[in-house]
């Protein structure tokens, strides 16, 4: 077999596994002939020749969420490790972690969340292009299924915002004033390293936090005003190309079913068929390490297996992948008659929790970060979600009015969440494509609801959401929909299952450089850290895609594979993205200078990069002049001269013959 030079585990060798497009200028030169750091596409789908050292080694993976399962997938596909040498350990008795989906029509279904996604989830699609879809003939992948579903059934919303108990509120624009637009632009311009420990509300004006934009943003991604400004900035870059589809959610795509059936089942099947073992009821709380100088080598895994303390020996050539934390850790459940009861302390989750592993690592060295920054205040990281299993009722009638297709048609229903902007809890709800579960009866709909503010009393039920039973939450929902007079009938035909998640947005807590460890912390020879609490160059968190990214970086680095993990999608630099984003944040009106650009480019090859102007006579001299005057201040002569100059340049473009 071809021998491949091995890499340094800290990734500082000549070949970078984890790329950073913001690290500096990229251009070709004799020393740099690799693709750009955020290159996507077929050229990046190379299979690296497996390094010879994979033979005889084992992989221990802690956590069977998408990050852990992806680590197993890449160990096999790109690392060439036989599946039988891979063991996944999980504290629970079901795989998937935060990707859940369970229940039945009698007891009620439960999903702690839904999955908003987009087409440039490049790590997810890289993996799922090679995983067999459960319901398609052999050879068709999960990606194929996803495209089949979404290409045929566009997603958009007819009622993104509501208020005044049942009225749709205008959601056609982001609703930012000129100075609020500048607040966003200035954030894009800021350097990442200048944003340590700053919160969103410390930066934005109070007026900004009342705009449509902020309602769309905070409810779509679950940002609270006290969360990390740095993370908000990273989201802006990562999702810049989605901004013109933010208001009506046309930028989003959704899986066919809930996340467990859509992603976990096919992936687990794929791994089991290849011999991967998943060992449940195994809570890992520490890793024993041999420390030599600046190097750290895991020698054993300390775990509670079925309630007993055990030690799993890690061989000298084995590799370990450890999830450092989970957003769904410590979920408390409730139902129609019982509010959920939390078992985690506000500031301290306790040693019997899954956070123990990261806490114990952090005690060994600062290279492992500061977990307390994330788990340390559940009042700021908690929210609750509710799954409603609905038989026909006045609620379903109201839902039909708000949906883009009949909820029973199998197509997009609400097209994403509907938010009540005057809800004290900031409550939103959604009905995704139905059936949401493969076994769901025809007359049942599964609806998901959540709220952001956990300490406020409801508008109708005078209690904070976590103190409410399912019945009370349904009452609050009916009130906001203006159908509370039908409450008894709705309750008789609806089952609510509640999930209060103390750490659901713990990843968004304000942070500074060094609070999160790197995927392979400096000096670690056989350990990679996975999931949502790990530092990557530019990626955002609270996505499945970023968990898969950490798995790829970990596998390639530990196995010394010469394969790059591209940085986040380069579309943020695409001039078209910038232009359409500028138009969107200017409330869909031409942004300052846009008419000027039209005047210059309209008759050139590049005409198509500009968003079409809303008014037909928009390039007429009067409009352009007033825009220029607005741009540069008044000064009739200057304006006339500038327009004349522009026209000449344009005519030059058109008339010029080849020399
Ligand atoms: C309500 C909700 C809505 C979401 N919406 C979206 C969305 O719209 N779009 C999107 O892309 N993403 C969304 N996400 C985020 C996405 O689901 C997660 O980022 C991703 O699933 C996290 O995967 P993970 O493997 O990193 O961690 P998790 O899935 O959280 O992994 C946790 C698993 O690891 C196990 N584990 C943890 N520690 C230990 C230990 N020490 N020992 C043994 N086992 C351990 C746990 O038992 C659990 O099974 C959402 C998540 C939730 C909860």
How large is the average pLDDT for residues 48-67? Answer: 89
Residue 69, ligand 1, Cβ within 6 A: no
**How confident is the model over 538-550, as pLDDT tens digits?**
999 999 999 999 9
- The answer, yes or no, to whether any atom of ligand 1 lies below 6 A from the CB of 582, is no
User: Do 493 and 600 reside in the same domain of the chain?
Assistant: no
Residue 525 domain flag:
no
Instruction: Compute the mean pLDDT over every residue in the chain, rounded to the nearest whole number.
Output: 93
Looking at the DSSP assignment, which residues form a beta bridge with residue 496?
388
Q: Is 287 in the pocket of ligand 1 (CB under 6 A)?
A: no
Contact 288, 299 (CB under 8 A): yes
State mean pLDDT over 421-437: 98
Q: Which of 113-117, 262-266, 341-345, 623-627 has the lowest mean pLDDT?
A: 623-627
Res 631: pLDDT: 63
Percent residues over pLDDT 90 in the chain: 87
Tokens 């994403």: give the residue: 416
- Is 107 a member of any domain? yes
182 within some domain: no
Which tokens is 554 given? Answer: 């970990």
Cis peptide before 435 (omega within 30 of 0): yes
Residue 345's Cβ-side half-sphere holds a number of Cα atoms within 13 Å equal to: 10
Distance (angstroms) between ligand 1 centre and the Cα of 92 equals 12
Q: 452 CA to middle of ligand 1, Å?
A: 19
Residue 212 pLDDT > 50? yes
Find the angle CA(193)-CA(196)-CA(202) to the nearest 5 degrees: 120
pLDDT digits (tens, 9 = 90+) for 446-493: 999 999 999 999 999 999 999 999 999 999 999 999 999 999 999 999
Distance (Å) from CA 189 to ligand 1 centroid: 31
Q: What is the pLDDT of residues 279-327, one digit of tens each?
A: 999 999 999 999 999 999 999 999 999 999 999 999 999 999 999 999 9
Q: Say if ligand 1 is within 6 A of residue 532 CB.
A: yes
From the CA of 386, how far away is ligand 1's center (Å)?
17
User: Does 430 sit in the ligand 1 pocket, CB within 6 Å?
Assistant: no
pLDDT at 504: 98
Q: Is the CB of 506 under 6 A from ligand 1?
A: no
Catalytic residue of the set 18, 74, 116, 146 = 116
- Ligand 1: centre distance to CA 350 (Å): 20
426's tokens = 């900031």
Q: How many CB atoms lie within 10 A of CB 441?
A: 11
Distance 504 CA to ligand 1 centre (A): 9
Question: In sequence order, which residues have a C-beta less than 8 Å from that of residue 97 and are 6 or more positions away?
Answer: 63, 64, 65, 66, 67, 68, 90, 323, 326, 328
The strand ranges marked E within 293-357 are: 295-305, 308-313, 319-323, 332-334
Say yes or no: CB of residue 326 within 6 Å of ligand 1. Answer: yes
The catalytic position among 235, 257, 296, 450 is: 235
Q: Which of 472, 501, 530 is the last residue in one of the domains?
A: 501
- Ligand 1 atom index nearest CA of 357: 41
Ligand 1 centroid vs 543 CA: distance in angstroms? Answer: 9
CA of 541, closest atom in ligand 1: 19
**Residue 23 placed within a domain:** no
What's the CATH code of the domain at 414? 3.30.9.80
Is the per-residue pLDDT at 409 higher than 50?
Answer: yes
What is the tens place of the pLDDT at every residue in 512-532?
999 999 999 999 999 999 999
The closest-lying atom of ligand 1 relative to the alpha carbon of residue 121 is 11
* pLDDT at residue 1, rounded to an integer: 38
Which ligand 1 atom minimizes the distance to the CA of 303?
Answer: 42
Query: Is 183 labeled as catalytic in the residue annotation?
Result: no
- Domain end call among 439, 473, 501: 501
pLDDT grade for 9, boundaries at 50, 70 and 90: very low
pLDDT digits (tens, 9 = 90+) for 570-617: 999 999 999 999 999 999 999 999 999 999 999 999 999 999 998 765
**301 touches 90 (CB < 8 A):** no
- Phi and psi torsions of 446, nearest 5°: -110, 125
Residues linked to residue 298 through DSSP beta bridges, in sequence order: 289
- Tell whether the model's pLDDT for residue 164 goes beyond 90: yes
Q: Is 96 left (phi over 0), alpha (psi -120 to 50) or beta?
A: left
Who contacts 165 (Cβ-Cβ below 8 Å, separation ≥6)? 479, 480, 481, 482
- The total number of structural domains that make up the chain: 2
Domain-located, residue 637: yes
Cβ(357) – ligand 1 distance below 6 Å: yes
Q: Is the CB of 66 under 6 A from ligand 1?
A: yes
The verdict on residue 532 lying in a domain is no
Which residue, of 477, 501, 525, is where some domain finishes? 501
Q: For 95-121, how does the pLDDT look when each residue is reduced to its tens digit (9 = 90+)?
A: 999 999 999 999 999 999 999 999 999
- CB 331 near ligand 1, within 6 Å: no
- Which domain range does residue 392 map to? 102-160+253-259+383-501
State the pTM of this model.
Answer: 0.94
476 is catalytic: no
* Residue in 64, 88, 98, 255 to alter for ligand 1 test, most ligand atoms within 8 A of Cβ: 98
* pLDDT greater than 70 at residue 8: no
Residue 440 lies in a domain: yes
Confidence bin at 351 (pLDDT 50/70/90): confident
User: Is the beta carbon of 320 within 6 A of some atom in ligand 1?
Assistant: no
Predicted confidence (pLDDT) per residue in 553-570, tens digit:
999 999 999 999 999 999
Residue whose C-alpha is closest to residue 149's, from 252, 70, 65: 252
- Dihedral sign, Cα of residue 35, residue 145, residue 542, residue 277: negative
Q: Which atom of ligand 1 is nearest to the CA of 550?
A: 26
Residue 187 lies in a domain: no
Nearest ligand 1 atom to the CA of 70 is: 25
């Amino acid at each position: 077999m071809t021998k491949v030079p091995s890499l340094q585990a800290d990734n500082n060798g000549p070949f970078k596994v984890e790329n950073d497009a913001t690290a500096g200028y990229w251009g070709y030169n004799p020393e740099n002939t690799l693709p750009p750091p955020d290159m996507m596409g077929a050229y990046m789908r190379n299979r690296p020749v497996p390094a010879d050292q994979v033979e005889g080694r084992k992989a221990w993976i802690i956590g069977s969420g998408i990050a852990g399962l992806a680590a197993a997938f890449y160990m096999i596909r790109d690392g060439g490790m036989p599946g039988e040498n891979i063991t996944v350990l999980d504290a629970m008795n079901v795989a998937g972690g935060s990707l859940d989906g369970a229940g039945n029509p009698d007891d009620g279904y439960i999903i702690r969340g839904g999955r908003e996604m987009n087409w440039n989830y490049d790590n997810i699609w890289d993996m799922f292009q090679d995983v067999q879809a459960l319901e398609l003939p052999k050879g068709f992948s999960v990606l194929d299924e996803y495209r089949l579903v979404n290409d045929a059934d566009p997603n958009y919303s007819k009622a993104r915002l509501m208020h005044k108990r049942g009225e749709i509120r205008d959601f056609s624009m982001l609703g930012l004033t000129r100075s609020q637009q500048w607040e966003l632009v200035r954030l894009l311009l800021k350097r990442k390293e200048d944003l340590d420990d700053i919160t969103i509300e410390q930066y934005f004006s109070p007026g900004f936090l009342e705009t449509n934009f902020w309602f769309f943003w905070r409810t779509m991604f679950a940002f609270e005003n006290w969360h990390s400004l740095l993370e908000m900035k990273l989201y802006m870059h990562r999702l810049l190309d989605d901004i013109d589809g933010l208001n009506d959610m046309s930028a989003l795509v959704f899986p066919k079913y809930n996340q467990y059936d859509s992603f976990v089942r096919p992936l687990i099947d794929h791994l089991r068929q290849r011999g991967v073992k998943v060992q449940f009821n195994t809570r890992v709380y520490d890793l024993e390490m041999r420390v030599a100088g600046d190097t750290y080598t895991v020698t054993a895994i300390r775990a509670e297996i079925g309630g007993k303390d055990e030690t799993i020996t890690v061989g000298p050539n084995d590799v370990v992948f450890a999830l450092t934390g989970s957003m769904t850790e410590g979920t408390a459940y409730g139902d129609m008659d019982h509010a959920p009861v939390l078992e985690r302390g506000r500031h301290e989750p306790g040693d019997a929790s899954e956070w123990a592993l990261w806490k114990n690592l952090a005690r060994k060295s600062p290279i492992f970060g500061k977990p307390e920054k994330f788990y340390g205040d559940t009042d700021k990281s908690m929210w609750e979600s509710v799954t409603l299993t609905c038989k026909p009722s006045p609620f379903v009638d109201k839902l039909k009015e708000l949906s883009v297709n009949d909820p029973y048609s199998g197509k997009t229903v609400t097209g994403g969440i509907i938010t009540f902007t005057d809800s004290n809890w900031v409550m939103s709800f959604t009905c995704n494509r139905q059936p949401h579960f493969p076994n769901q009866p025809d007359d049942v709909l599964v609806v998901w609801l959540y709220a952001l503010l956990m300490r406020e009393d409801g508008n109708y039920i005078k209690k904070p959401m976590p103190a409410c039973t399912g019945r009370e939450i349904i009452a609050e929902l009916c009130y906001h929909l203006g159908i509370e007079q039908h409450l008894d009938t709705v309750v008789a035909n609806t089952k609510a299952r509640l999930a209060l998640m103390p750490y659901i947005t713990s990843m968004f807590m304000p942070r500074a450089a060094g609070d999160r460890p790197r995927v392979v912390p400096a000096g670690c020879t056989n350990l990679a850290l996975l999931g949502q609490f790990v530092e990557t160059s530019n990626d955002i968190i609270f996505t499945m895609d970023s968990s898969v990214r950490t798995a790829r970086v970990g596998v390639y680095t530990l196995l010394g594979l010469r394969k790059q993990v591209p940085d986040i999608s380069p579309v943020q630099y695409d001039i078209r993205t910038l232009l359409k984003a500028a138009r969107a944040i200017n409330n869909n009106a031409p942004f300052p200078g846009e008419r000027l650009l039209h005047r210059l480019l309209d008759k050139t090859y590049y005409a198509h990069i500009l968003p079409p102007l809303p008014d037909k006579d928009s390039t007429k001299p009067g409009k352009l002049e007033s825009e220029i005057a607005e741009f540069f201040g008044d000064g009739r002569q200057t304006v006339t001269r500038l327009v004349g100059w522009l026209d000449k340049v344009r005519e030059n473009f058109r008339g010029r013959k080849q020399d």
